[in-house]
Amino acid sequence: MEADERIPADLSQRRGKTDLRHSEKTIEIRISGKVQRVGMRNCIRMLAGKLSIKGEVMNLPDGSVMAYATGDPILLEKFISMIYSCPRAVIRDLEVRECSLLAFPDFVITRSEIS
């Protein structure tokens, strides 16, 4: 009996062809500290582009920054850790929570009144 004969046909055809779409998730990230008027949103957008993460980032009236990010869970973890490297920002707190899956065409900066 050859090795391929011991594996059901449907399993041997699926081997190595994992669809990552089903494992994507969306997270909400709220960052507080000195995070507005220091290039934080642009930095986050650039980091997301490097990791193929989709979503949006915006300033909030309370002085914090909010981002929604959709992507592979492992890449999202890396994305979160890379946010701390944004220059000129002084991050006091970074809160992350998982939310319902959201689809975004790209990663964009959403403008607000206090931009």
pLDDT of the chain along its 115 residues, tens only?
444 444 444 443 444 444 445 689 999 999 999 999 999 999 999 999 999 999 999 999 999 999 999 999 999 999 999 999 999 999 999 999 999 999 999 999 998 755 4
**Residue 74 maps to which CATH number?**
3.30.70.100
- Domain-located, residue 75: yes
- Domain-located, residue 29: yes
Closest by CA position to 66, among listed 105, 88, 99: 99
- Domain-located, residue 35: yes
Task: Mark 62-95 as b/e (b = at least 16 C-beta within 10 Å).
Answer: eebbbbbbbbbeebbeebbebbeebeebeeeebe
Q: How far is CA 3 from the centre of its chain?
A: 40
Give me the active site residues, please.
41, 59
- Domain-located, residue 1: no
> Number of folded domains in the chain?
1
pTM of the model: 0.78
Containing structural domain, residue 87 = 21-110
